[in-house]
Structure 1
């Protein structure tokens, strides 16, 4: 099967591409560095010739509201147009759990537009909404750290290992389109403070976690349950502790 992986050089995309190639599929890496640009449209027509599945792991260069909105609008319009001409049979989008529950956040509004664009397109699709990755804990510590303290709100958290995301994206891409949204999350659910403290303890980092009840994440006010699934979800196999042992 010929598969185009948009964002195929990123954290998830590079591993998805490797996995699918190993399984015997013809994989085209969709990235500007590979001659495929979803914004200008350069290389898309050629990359989509004979392509049955498009895996959309694209992302804007910045989470800034206007940058993200412009990126996903332009990318979505180009992809749908070229995919219809090529007769693509399945478009899979990787999105974020909670996207529709905080539309005042520009990046999440942009991701919602990405989702709605493919829903309206008429192209068979699957949308996978994922929780935050285990790998993101270092960003939390960096962004929310002040000197030797890390200020973390006691919001609900259920991170998933990037390796499990790769597994689910690859599996769902090869299945029949769901024409609906599915959610994936890690096997462990607790307060965000718990995960950050576990990471610091394991790394023997002297930083101190200062918990609070402000329900803020990356300096944004959020609902306490924004970062976790509210209903059924597919749970990954890799626990946070297991991930820590190899990172």
Structure 2
């Protein structure tokens, strides 16, 4: 199959592209570094030509301001339009667990717009929502940084290895479009504060973590289980301790 991967040079895109090629697929890697701009449409038509499947793993440069909204709105509209002209039979996109409950955040409001545009289009689609990647824990910790203190909420999440998300995307891509949203999460549940303590200990970082439920998560005060996937979610297998061991060894 010919598969176009938008956002191919990012964390997920790099691993996804390699996974698809190992499986024998003809992959068109599309990103700014490969000369394709999904916002301005530069190189987009050529990258989309002949594609049977499109996988959208693009991401905004900024997580915390309104530019994410403009990025996802323009990029998704352009990708969907190009996919329609090319007759793409399956549009698969990566989103985030909890998106509908976090729209007070500019970033998650932008992800909700992306999802809504895909669902409202005439393209057969699948949307995969993932929990936080292990690879982004360091950035997650920084939301509560105050000098040598880290104030973080105890909200529960199931972080996951990026490689397992990429593998599930590859699996979904070659199946029939679900016209629905599916989820993936890690095998273990932690509070954000607990994850930080584990990560800092593994990195021999002496900063102290203070549990503070009032600390916002990228602009949203967390309540309940909004960061947890549903019961039907794919459960990944790589544990945080194993990922940390491999990362430290590398």
Alignment TM class, shorter chain as reference: over 0.9
Gapped regions of structure 2 (runs ≥ 5): none
The answer for the alignment partner of 1:235 in structure 2 is 235
Q: 3-state SS of the aligned residue for 1:245?
A: helix
Kept in 2, the 8 Å contact 1:144–1:218? The answer is: no
Deviation at 1:86, TM superposition (A): 0.5
Deviation at 1:66, TM superposition (A): 2.2
Note the alpha carbon deviations across 1:203-229, whole angstroms, 9 max, x for none: 222111111222522454232422112
Q: CA RMSD in A?
A: 1.4
Kept in 1, the 8 Å contact 2:64–2:218? The answer is: no
Deviation at 1:3, TM superposition (A): 0.6
Deviation at 1:142, TM superposition (A): 3.1
Kept in 2, the 8 Å contact 1:215–1:223? The answer is: no
Written as runs of structure 1 = structure 2, the 5 A alignment for 1:1-247 is 1-214=1-214, 216-218=216-218, 220-247=220-247
Q: What TM-score comes out, normalization by structure 1 length?
A: 0.95
Q: 3-state SS of the aligned residue for 1:93?
A: strand
Q: Take 1:64 and 1:144, find their aligned partners in 2: how far apart are those partners?
A: 14
Deviation at 1:43, TM superposition (A): 1.4
Gapped regions of structure 1 (runs ≥ 5): none
Q: 18-27 or 87-96, which moves further after superposition?
A: 18-27
Kept in 2, the 8 Å contact 1:185–1:229? The answer is: yes
Q: 3-state SS of the aligned residue for 2:178?
A: coil
Q: 111-120 or 59-68, which moves further after superposition?
A: 59-68
Deviation at 1:63, TM superposition (A): 2.2
Deviating above 4 A after TM superposition, structure 1's stretches of 4 or more consecutive aligned residues are none
Q: 3-state SS of the aligned residue for 2:129?
A: strand
Deviation at 1:106, TM superposition (A): 1.6
Q: Take 1:186 and 1:168, find their aligned partners in 2: how far apart are those partners?
A: 12
